Amino acid sequence: MSLPQLYTALLAGGLVLLASIVATRAAARFGLPALLLFLALGLAIGEDGLGLRFDDAQLAQNLGTAALAVILVEGGLTTRWSDVRPLLTPSGLLATVGVAVSVAVTAVGAHLLIGMHWQSALLLGAIVSSTDAAAVFSVLRTLPLPRRVSGMLEAESGFNDAPTVILVLLFSTIPLEIHPLEVAGNVLYQLAVGTVIGVGVGWAGAWVLHRITLPASGLYPLAMFGLGVVAFAAAGSVGASGFLAAFVSGLVLANSGLPHRASLRSFAEGLGWLAQIGLFVLLGLLVTPHELLPELLPALVVGLVLLLVARPVSVLVALAPFRLPWREQLFVSWAGLRGAVPIVLATFPVVAGIPGSDRVLNVVFVLVAVFTLVQGPGLLGLARRLGLVRADAAREIQVEVAPLDVLDAELLTVSVPTGSQLHYVTLRELRLPEPSVITLIIRAGRSFVPEPATRLTTGDELLIMTTARAREVAERRLRAVSRRGRLAHWFGEYGAPD
């Protein structure tokens, strides 16, 4: 590529990005899913629009897989462990048993109602049975839903890509041979090893980042994303689920108490949006609009089977042991959003050369576009009608962990030893230099926030927040009072180091 061509490509890419951002604003104003406008933008600049031709399914698959990895890392980094921890079992069952039930019901419906060959029907069922992380994260996080419901849907969207990819690859072979025990073993291996790698990379990364101070706060989000990509690639290189490893590593990192959570969340959301925009525009370019119209009716039929039969039955079967209220089960059934993941998965059989795979891709594209438009805008109204949210419900506040290096602060720990003149001195009498303050006292295994009149006693552990500039003066004052008591200066004691 020459330099002028590079300038042209960057100009086109920048304009598409800016147009997508404007489309996001318009979508928010009119209550439309922004992801649909990204697809529409791809169609508009494609073969039947501005004439840009793109039909490389292999490249779309590669770029789409990389974008999904970024989206899943972002999902893990912005998910609270406290929300998903009690929901691991139901979410795991939705991602495995629920997917299997949905594949079977959707495939039967596609075979009987629109006459699809069994292999194409199974492929279609597997492709559309995975809820999409990008769609779920971008839509549900704007709603004030109960933690149990939103956490279950987010965890499911992060976990169910692995079994879905396995099934799509299984059905993308010629001749088609299904060995249930082999499939179950493969699913178990991918899930287990992907989880182990994700946890391992996340824990190791958090351990290192806790023990080093990076020179700039912007490096922390980059380091965490880098670790998520490492987890994704490491799992994929050993035949495990890279998608699951990417999500789990991000989840571990984000909930390990690392600093700069606000900047991390902003960076992760920005990079996630960039991946979503690029992915949906690319997928919009991949399809040819005039080939979609004949598949409108089949897509509507399969979509109705999925929405009204397959998804509710899969939720009912997977969540049967937990006795969730019917209102929550109904909402989970309706909120099983599809997005980029099914379209990316639809490229797998195209690349493999499976007969009828082009039709499967077109059906999936129409189904995703139509039913995202049907499901997404009505989620808040449905949640209110089901009594899951109040009309005046508010979003939760975000609490930031501020690292001491950013505040130019020091955290001192002081013990009151036996015989110290600090015993029975009040905090007011310490007269520590401003802005030093004793923030916490640990006494006899119990911690409490002291008041100015609180008296220190032998054995107390003090946590003192001060600035780097005031630290030396604070230390001298503490030593002076410890040696000669509250009247240390009267006795000529100024706390010089020994």
Rg (the chain; Cα; Å): 28
- Structure token pair of residue 496: 């010089």
Query: pLDDT (tens digit, 9 = 90+) per residue, 74-87?
Result: 878 877 777 778 88
In this predicted structure, what is the pLDDT of residue 35? 72
Q: How many Cβ atoms are within 10 Å of 160's Cβ, its own excluded?
A: 27
Give the residue carrying structure tokens 């048993």. Answer: 97
Cα–Cα distance for residue pair 15/178, rounded to 1 Å: 47
Q: What is the mean pLDDT of residues 282-304?
A: 85
In this predicted structure, what is the pLDDT of residue 33? 66
Question: What type of residue is 56?
Answer: D
* Higher local confidence (pLDDT), 84 or 32: 84
Q: What is the mean pLDDT of residues 152-160?
A: 81
Q: What is the mean pLDDT of residues 471-497?
A: 88
Up-side HSE of residue 429: CA atoms within 13 Å toward CB? 19
- Structure token pair of residue 396: 């939760």
In this predicted structure, what is the pLDDT of residue 398? 46
In this predicted structure, what is the pLDDT of residue 30? 56
- Structure token pair of residue 242: 């890279």
Cis amide linkage into residue 435, ω under 30° from 0: yes
In this predicted structure, what is the pLDDT of residue 3? 83
Q: What is the DSSP string of 240-269?
A: S-HHHHHHHHHHHHHTTT-S-HHHHHHHHH
pLDDT band per the 50, 70, 90 thresholds, residue 493: confident
Spatial CB neighbours of 304, under 8 Å, sequence gap ≥ 6: none
Q: Is the pLDDT of residue 169 over 70?
A: yes
Q: How many Cβ atoms are within 10 Å of 205's Cβ, its own excluded?
A: 22
In this predicted structure, what is the pLDDT of residue 317? 92
- Structure token pair of residue 106: 């959707």
Helix (H) or strand (E) holding 415: strand 409-415
Q: What is the mean pLDDT of residues 68-77?
A: 83
Helix (H) or strand (E) holding 447: strand 446-448
Q: Is the pLDDT of residue 455 over 90?
A: yes
Range list of H helices, 377-468: 379-385, 404-407, 427-430
Q: Is the pLDDT of residue 294 over 90?
A: no
Spatial CB neighbours of 228, under 8 Å, sequence gap ≥ 6: 69, 72, 73, 76, 77, 201, 246, 249, 250, 253
Cα–Cα distance for residue pair 140/102, rounded to 1 Å: 22
In this predicted structure, what is the pLDDT of residue 397? 41
In this predicted structure, what is the pLDDT of residue 399? 46
Three-class SS state of 463: strand
**Highest mean pLDDT of the ranges 7-16, 54-63, 225-234, 336-345:** 225-234
Q: Is the pLDDT of residue 401 over 70?
A: no
Cα–Cα distance for residue pair 350/124, rounded to 1 Å: 12
In this predicted structure, what is the pLDDT of residue 498? 56
What is the arrangement of strands in the sheet containing 461-467, beginning at the earlier edge strand? 409-415, 461-467, 437-443, 446-448
In this predicted structure, what is the pLDDT of residue 301? 93
In this predicted structure, what is the pLDDT of residue 182? 78
Query: pLDDT (tens digit, 9 = 90+) per residue, 12-24?
Result: 888 888 887 887 7
In this predicted structure, what is the pLDDT of residue 261? 66
Q: What is the mean pLDDT of residues 433-443?
A: 91
**Highest mean pLDDT of the ranges 156-170, 285-299, 372-386, 470-484:** 470-484
Cα–Cα distance for residue pair 375/377, rounded to 1 Å: 6
In this predicted structure, what is the pLDDT of residue 104? 92
Cα–Cα distance for residue pair 168/127, rounded to 1 Å: 6
CA angle 146, 156, 351 (to 5 degrees): 145
Lowest mean pLDDT among 104-113, 120-129, 177-186, 358-367: 177-186
pLDDT band per the 50, 70, 90 thresholds, residue 142: low
Q: How far is CA 177 from CA 35, 353, 365, in A?
A: 36, 16, 27
Q: Is the pLDDT of residue 49 over 60?
A: yes
Share of the chain above pLDDT 90, in %: 21
Q: Is 50 exposed, middle or buried (0-12, 13-18, 19+ CB in 10 A)?
A: exposed
Three-class SS state of 485: coil
Cα–Cα distance for residue pair 355/222, rounded to 1 Å: 42
Q: Is the pLDDT of residue 231 over 90?
A: yes
* Higher local confidence (pLDDT), 36 or 142: 36
Averaged pLDDT of the chain: 83
Q: Is the pLDDT of residue 6 over 70?
A: yes
In this predicted structure, what is the pLDDT of residue 407? 62
